[in-house]
Structure 1
Amino acid sequence: MGLYKKWCKSTKEKDKRKHYWTYVERDGGRDEICDVLAETIRSHYDRLERIAEDVNRLGYKVASEILRAAMPQTVKGRSGDLGEILATEFVEEEVGLRVPVRRLRYKDGRNMAMRGDDFIGAGYDNKGEKLWLLKGEAKSNKVLGKATVTSARNVLNRDNGRCTPDSLLFVANRLLESNDPDDNELGRSLRDEVGVKSLHADRIDHMLFTVSGNGPHPSLKEDLDAAGTNRDHYAVNIHVQDHQNFIATIYMKAEDLGDD
């Protein structure tokens, strides 16, 4: 069972190509996924095998310091990063597309937001032939409001609704550096798409992913209702009532590798 199924109860509404999904924490769900989520957070900043090597060579305390150096230390930085982490895991678990590159491993400043699309899902159609993309914006707020939703929609609509070329090329090049032939094949497809722009809108889905303390603001549904019908649209909210305390607690756990 995946992270979200253990953690949350969901309500899913669908109207043609529009998906409105809301999630609230189950009783005891947070405790059940706490260790898994902490490890997941670590994996978005570095490979777990590399962290394990640090532990073996230097011990838990020093390895924790190395990991902490990659993680944001500001409230805003942690909130933004956690939004992207949860969105990435969500796409792979609930939508079934890959988010093939963990962007946060490539940040040039741990408290700085990365430029470009927040997350890109990629895969192929049911026949395994045609490339399929998902362009996503992730927002993590103590209080979600209309201004945030409108800003995210404006970003999704940029570049005629396509993934930005620099974001797509970044993902493509990381995949082409892999030793996995499947990664190389997907990377080649993405790199080609940067040049030929052959994908129609109906194969570039959009997702507005939100995590908030106040739950889904009415503007999230209103924004979805106003969206076009030429692609799949996902509007998602994860309601975490003690939003900021949750972030502080889970990052503290993620940074602590233990002492035994």
Structure 2
Amino acid sequence: MYERWCKSAKVKAARKHYWTYVEKDGGRDEICDDLAETIRAHYEPLERIAEDVSRLGYKIASEILRTAMPQTSKGRSGDLGEILATELVEEEVGLRVPVRRLRYKDGRNMAMRGDDFIGAGYDKKGKKLWLLKGEAKSNKVLSKATVTSARKVLDRDNGRCTPDSLLFVANRLLESNEHRDNELGRSLRDEVGIKSLQIDRIDHMLFTMSGNGPHASLRENLAAAGTNQDQYVVNLHVEDHQDFIAAMYKEAEDLGDY
């Protein structure tokens, strides 16, 4: 999706990655339908939505879906930042974000506690567990204070994924019917107790989406970050930030002839 949607610039120095994305001319139109479906899938499994349509028709199915989605601009902004960060990890980093945690919110307009997103997988040999701890920020105007706050969250718990967040992901995977999910879930649950994972296999990502583009503090923040793990600092510049979010949620809520 990102390749079709945006122009990117990527700078790497040792284990530090600075990525910026700007929408291509016509890029938004190119991915609009796919992004709307992606947003839906972060709140409800697509097969469940299809079943609602089959049983109840498009209008009522749309209402059920709308009930799961935030209705405040702040809630939508935060959720969409998390959704787009998740998709970027899977498309560009190569780790899975195996649990769509927005499906488990206890209030549609409330932010969930814990790490915003956790990427998980194994090393190139497929043996050693590898994690990514992520923090997502979505602001019309990105500021240094927001960037500094996000870094503090990444650094807490000695830079490790918070145990409650990791256990949440592990337990959801162990509930799956897929063997691959169960194996990963077991590895994550073991890690909560044993804490054997070296910090050089716990990457960090600070993902930002903003209307004012990459703030200078992003580069400064990356420069000050540690070097014993991969550090990703990302900015997605969407000039009409607020209008974009409102339009995408309207598109996602309208199932049409889905």
> What TM-score bracket applies, with the shorter chain setting the length?
over 0.9
Q: AA paired with 2:212?
A: N
Match of 1:190 among 180, 188, 191: 188
Indicate yes or no: 2:158 matched with 1:164.
Answer: no
Q: Which residue of 2 aligns with 1:80?
A: 78
Residues 217-256 of structure 1 mapped to structure 2, 5 A cutoff: 217-256=215-254
Alpha-carbon contact 1:61-1:259 (below 8 Å) kept: no
Change in CA separation of 1:129 and 1:243 when aligned onto 2, cut-off 3 Å: same
Q: Which residue of 1 aligns with 2:125?
A: 127
Q: AA paired with 2:222?
A: L
TM-score (norm 1): 0.99
Match of 1:180 among 167, 178, 181: 178
Q: AA paired with 1:250?
A: M
Structure 1 runs (4+) deviating above 6 angstroms are: none
Write out per-residue CA displacement over residues 110-137 of structure 1, whole angstroms, 9 at most, x where no aligned residue.
Answer: 0000000000000000000000000000
Q: AA paired with 1:234?
A: Y
Indicate yes or no: 2:60 matched with 1:50.
Answer: no
| Deviation of 1:218 (Å) | 0.3
Percent of paired sites with the same residue: 83
Match of 2:213 among 189, 212, 215: 215
| Deviation of 1:36 (Å) | 0.2
| Deviation of 1:259 (Å) | 5.4
Alpha-carbon contact 1:152-1:208 (below 8 Å) kept: yes
State the secondary structure of the residue aligned to 1:113.
coil
Residues matched between the structures, number: 258
Q: AA paired with 2:167?
A: L
Q: Which residue of 1 aligns with 2:141?
A: 143
Distance 1:258 1:98 in 2: 30
Distance 1:250 1:163 in 2: 30
Match of 2:103 among 102, 105, 130: 105
Q: Which residue of 2 aligns with 1:201?
A: 199
Change in CA separation of 1:179 and 1:259 when aligned onto 2, cut-off 3 Å: closer
Write out per-residue CA displacement over residues 173-203 of structure 1, whole angstroms, 9 at most, x where no aligned residue.
Answer: 0000001000000000000000000011100
Distance 2:255 2:125 in 1: 43
| Deviation of 1:45 (Å) | 0.2
Runs of 5+ consecutive residues of structure 2 not aligned to the other structure: none
